[in-house]
Amino acid sequence: MALNYREALNAPLLDEQAEREAIQNWQRKGDRAALELLVRTHARQVYSQAQRWTSNPVELEDLVAEGMIGLMRAADQFDLAHKVRFSTYAHWWVMTSVSTAVARIRSLVDMPPRTYLDARMGRLSGADKDFALQAIRGYVNIDAMAGDQDSPRGQELESPDMTPEERFAADSAHELLRRTIAEALEDLAEPDREVLVRRKLQATPETAEEVASSLGITRDRVRMIERRAMARLKLSLQRLGFTPAMLH
């Protein structure tokens, strides 16, 4: 289905009932019109994700195509038993599809998408970082260009820092992750939520002994609550669109 940016932007949004009816018709009846309706009304989500990575029209077209595939996979996998909007669930499918395509399009050699993103976002160091950046862009050695083979390696022309677009994408993804985790925490009972926040979600996590002392329970009891809370949080995050690989 061909759909340009203006058409995607102007496509009317579905209310929750119409959205779920379209998903049901596609999953149970194979109704292609229902799938097209879902894709058309959520295409702006794909364009938004793709435009965070490139302004090159050729690259943008490829990324949008991959994002649309992610959107259709989300329609296949969406669980109607869960009370979550399709756009929330589809976000992770679209983001994964687009980021995988970015790694393939921009790398000089094939590499895993996670390695590409880690390199671009500064999460690699040492030789791993050098090799990944060389694979992504290729380096131009100024000394080698001048024919001086004995001089130290020159400065690379490409900066390893993120572009403004990539920084915006990273910040946006971080904010969405924060909101999603906060929503998932609301599903937990108060003791589980408090222990999990204090033990795992603070800048300086408290020790099991500190939490046990303030709550008047044993350290073993704190650890049991923590394990239970983590298991429940993972289930809640999966209902909100996380895949098991994202939670590994």
- Residues 105, 24 share a domain: yes
What domain range includes position 137? 122-161
Mark out the alpha helices in 78-189 (DSSP H runs).
Answer: 86-106, 113-120, 126-136, 142-145, 164-185
Structural domains counted in the chain:
3
Stretch 230-238: mean pLDDT: 81
26 confidence band (pLDDT: 50, 70, 90):
very high
- Residues 28, 9 share a domain: yes
- Residues 107, 26 share a domain: yes
- Residues 238, 184 share a domain: yes
- Residues 150, 180 share a domain: no
> How much is the pLDDT for 106?
60
20 confidence band (pLDDT: 50, 70, 90):
very high
pLDDT digits (tens, 9 = 90+) for 125-146: 666 565 555 555 544 444 444 4
Element (H, E) at 216: none
> How much is the pLDDT for 211?
92
- Residues 141, 214 share a domain: no
Stretch 197-222: mean pLDDT: 90
Residue 91 contacts residue 241 (beta carbons within 8 Å): yes
- Residues 178, 102 share a domain: no
- Residues 144, 83 share a domain: no
pLDDT digits (tens, 9 = 90+) for 84-103: 899 889 988 898 888 888 76
- CA pair distance 135, 150, nearest whole angstrom: 24
- Residues 102, 29 share a domain: yes
